Structure 1
Amino acid sequence: MLIEVLCSEWDQYELVDCGDRRKLERFGEVLVVRGEPRAWWRPRLPESAWNRAQAVHDERAWTFTPDCPREWTLELDGLRLLARFTETSKHIGVFPEQWPHWRAILESGGEGRLLNLFGYTGAASMVAAKAGFEVTHVDASKPALTWARRNQELSGLQDAPLRLILDDAGKFVARELRRGKRYEAILLDPPAFGRGPKKELWKVERQVSELLAQCRELLSEQARFLILTMYNTDASALMLRNLLSDALEGLGGTLDVGELALRQTGSDKILPRSLWGRWTA
């Protein structure tokens, strides 16, 4: 079994340097420093290069230079995605390591219905809608859903078959099963821990197996793919393979697993960011 490493080639993003549990990144024209628990090695560039960052997150709060925008847009295959700093998170609304999945979705032909669970601010949903899928985007965070709606407007997808739904992923999937709904493609990007809109508790190690079993039932007879991404530091690609193999037993097709990563500019270092598993019919 091969564990495949997929790296972003998105021209709107650059991993300028990383090390000492930090990373120096470029989003569009904005330089950002954020914490990175997987970067155990030494940085390549001197501290003077890091000091050119316009925004720095110290795991408690952001600090900004006077010329730093608080929000700006990034281009993705004709789409426009809002990047923004918030007081409550070090994240800015987009995970560039997901670019290989966005490309795969865009190049898939986009036929049928796609369900995006834990859809966050909707980059994958926008790509899927552009590809031609009928998209159902589900997230338990009202601010994330508002952000996704803004991305939909910025990308000119107001008239696309794209539903943005505020709901707990497990409860939504259970209701779809009772309604007899089916999907040709499913994306899952569950957090390690979270709460639904009604304070429903989510712990991935306790609930992801059941959710995957339900998602298997949601796949139609014309199902094309299911993609699972996980950021848990305790997990492994082998664990994801076992999870998906168990949940999708008997469906045939192929199952691939690996890591999503970011390639550092001017270096042979590759920063691991998340795990992925993909079933393809």
Structure 2
Amino acid sequence: MHIDTLTPQHWEAYELIDSGGFEKLERFGEYITARPEPQAVWDKSLAESDWRKKAHAIFENKNITDEMRDKGNWNILKKMPDKWQMHYRYKDNLLKFKASLTSFKHVGVFPEQAANWDFIMDSTKAISTKTNIKVPKVLNLFAYTGIASLAARSAGAEVTHVDALKQLVTWANENREMSGLKDIRWIVEDAVKFVKREVRRGSIYQGIILDPPAYGRGANGEKWVLEEGINELVKLVAQLLDREQHFLVMNLYSKGLSAIIGANLIHNAFGKKDNLHIGELYLEDSFEKKLPLGVFCRFVSV
């Protein structure tokens, strides 16, 4: 088994400027933010004063409990809008989406995932051009603001987008409109409940994107803990994936889960996959420090 590293290659609107001191300094379009990053255990390359000179906004967190560790406030240092547009271009696909400062330190986009967006677009187009399935069906679970959904839709897929929080699905729909795309199926529901119902229906998808958080709660109080729920979920998802023409992308963000654990989950649910590609996603700052940002597991069969 080979464990690889993977980083985006086609960003124009994003840059990791510096990292260290448990923080990261990033450019999202025209605006620069500083926010916590528990993986950045090394020293910053730039002085603290340089960070403050560059940053439009700095995320400040005074919470110490696990469930509130990402909640805080943005200290706005320079004038900037509440929301702004970003874009991502890959081959003939142009995705447009909204960035916005949230109380949970996020801005609506996980930049390291661009490496997976490329894979989703390439895999979708390969299925539609090399097989008799002209419109692949793609399921995006824990779909957040939906940029992976846009990637699949822009490549010609019929997309079902599932997230438990209505406000995130609304955000994703705004991103669809910005990108000039049509007809994404929006589902506001707990992902596990939706998958169980799809299994009972006998539904089949050619592509599945599985992007669960380390922990979270659904709209009706459903509790999700990655380590507790991921094994059952992967086994359920295996029943939905087309046996012949398919692709799967799974991300694991918990620091306690490794690429090898992801491979074991895949092999247990799908059988031995010789084409399984596993490893760590990372972003490289302008000082060549590599910031790890989760585990990826993916495969494609066309």
Query: What interval of TM-score do these two structures reach, taking the shorter chain for normalisation?
Result: over 0.9
> 3-state DSSP class of the match of 1:34?
strand
Give me the whole-angstrom Cα distance separating, in 2, the residues matched to 1:7 and 1:260.
6
| Structure 1: gaps (5+ residues) | none
Q: Deviations over 1:97-156 (max 9, x none)?
A: 001101111222163100000000000000110011110000011111110011011111
Correspondence 1:274 to 2:276: no
Give SS of 1:45's match. Answer: coil
Residue 196 of structure 1: how far off its partner (Å): 1.8
List gaps (5 residues or longer) in structure 2: 62-71, 129-135
Q: Does residue 107 of the first structure (1) align with residue 105 of the second (2)?
A: no
Counterpart selection for 1:56 from 55, 58, 64: 58
Rounded Cα–Cα distance in structure 2 between residues aligned with 1:253 and 1:175:
30
2:7 corresponds to 1:7? yes
1-structure distance, mates of 2:298, 2:153: 20
1:204-243 mapped onto 2 (5 Å cutoff) = 204-243=226-265
Q: Is the 8 A contact 1:55 1:64 kept in 2?
A: yes
Aligned-pair identity in percent equals 43
Is 2:77 the partner of 1:65?
yes
Q: State the match for 1:261 in structure 2.
A: 282
- Structure 2 counterpart of 1:176: 198
- Which amino acid is the alignment partner of residue 238 of structure 1? I
TM-score, normalised to structure 1, is: 0.95
What's the C-alpha RMSD, in Å, of the aligned pairs? 1.3
Counterpart mapping for 1:135-174 below 5 A: 135-157=159-181, 159-160=182-183, 162-174=184-196
Deviates further, 170-179 or 114-123: 170-179
2:146/2:172 contact within 8 Å kept = yes
State the one-letter code of the partner of 1:107: D
Query: Are residue 118 (structure 1) and residue 142 (structure 2) matched?
Result: yes
Do 1:253 and 1:280's aligned partners in 2 also have CA atoms closer than 8 Å?
no
Cα distance in 2 for partners of 1:223, 1:35 equals 40
Q: Tell me, in whole angstroms, the C-alpha distance in 2 between the residues paired with 1:23 and 1:104.
A: 26
Q: Would the aligned equivalents of 2:140 and 2:210 in 1 still touch at CA under 8 Å?
A: yes
Q: Within 2, Cα distance between the matches of 1:272 and 1:79? A: 24
Contact kept in structure 2, 1:192 and 1:232, CA below 8 Å: yes
What secondary structure is seen at the aligned counterpart in 2 of 1:254? coil
* TM-score normalised over the length of structure 2: 0.88
- Give 1:26's aligned residue: 27
Query: Offset at 1:66?
Result: 4.1
Report the Cα offset of residue 253 of structure 1: 4.9
Q: Distance in 2 between matches of 1:147 and 1:254?
A: 34
